[in-house]
């Protein structure tokens, strides 16, 4: 024997539009005899009908008529702006490239005039004089003048503190 709880799923299926013809016939037959189930089914249907928003007013429908045109205008405006920005970016990049290409030879020329064109032989005497390397000739002279070996130790090897 079927009970009211067996028809709950049929009521749910009807709400979601899933009830086939055989199920619908069974449910309708039960609803005709069962006030409780009918009340439940009616209450659910009623609550959904109440929850539904009322249809749009004439004013709303009229206002909606202009949306397509307005959206088209906004979309095209966006496209034009994007193209403009893209065009500007390309223009700036091209202009920058032209400027760089135009200035590069001049910059290169200016740079070459400041650099030495020929190898200059360094002044070795001046470099030698600027260093603190001990002059071996002067050392020999000191020995001849009676300097001791200790003096030589103090003088060291002579290959220190070279500033070269």
Contact residues: other proteins, CB under 8 A:
12, 14-18, 24, 28, 31-32, 35, 38-39, 41-54, 56-57, 59-60, 63-64, 67-68, 70-72, 74-75, 78
Tell me if 27 sits within 8 A of 11, measured CB to CB.
yes
Residue closer to other proteins (CB basis): 86 or 132: 86
- Nearer to other proteins among residue 85 and residue 98 (C-beta): 85
Output the smallest distance, CB 46 to other proteins, in A.
Answer: 7
Provide, rounded to whole angstroms, the least separation between the CB of residue 48 and other proteins. Answer: 6
Min CB(89)–other proteins separation in Å: 17
Please, which residues have CB within 8 angstroms of residue 121's CB and are 6 or more apart in sequence? none
134 within 8 A of 155, measured Cβ to Cβ = yes
Which CB sits closer to other proteins, 48 or 84? 48
| Residue 38 vs 134, nearer CB to other proteins | 38
Positive/negative CA dihedral, 22, 23, 29, 32? negative
Closest separation between CB of residue 71 and other proteins, Å?
A: 5
Stretch (H or E) spanning 135 = none
Closer Cβ to other proteins, 39 or 127, answer by number: 39
Cβ 66 to other proteins, closest distance in Å? 8
Q: Cα dihedral sign for 42, 45, 51, 52? A: negative
Write out the two tokens for 129: 């004089």
Q: Which residues, including other chains, have CB under 8 Å from residue 133's CB and lie 6 or more apart?
A: 158, 159, 162, 164
């Amino acid at each position: 024997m079927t009970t009211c709880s067996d028809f709950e799923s049929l009521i749910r299926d009807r709400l979601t539009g899933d009830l086939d013809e055989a199920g619908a016939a069974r449910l309708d037959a039960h609803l005709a005899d069962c006030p409780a189930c009918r009340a439940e089914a009616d209450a659910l249907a009623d609550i959904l009908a109440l929850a539904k928003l009322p249809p749009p007013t004439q004013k709303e429908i009229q206002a909606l008529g202009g949306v397509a045109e307005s959206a088209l205008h906004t979309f095209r405006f966006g496209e034009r702006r994007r193209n403009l920005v893209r065009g500007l970016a390309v223009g700036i990049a091209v202009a920058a490239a032209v400027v760089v290409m135009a200035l590069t030879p001049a910059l290169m020329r200016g740079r070459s005039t400041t650099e030495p064109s020929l190898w200059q032989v360094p002044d070795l005497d001046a470099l030698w004089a600027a260093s603190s390397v001990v002059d071996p000739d002067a050392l020999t002279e000191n020995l001849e003048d009676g300097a001791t070996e200790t003096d030589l130790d103090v003088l060291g090897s002579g290959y220190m503190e070279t500033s070269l």
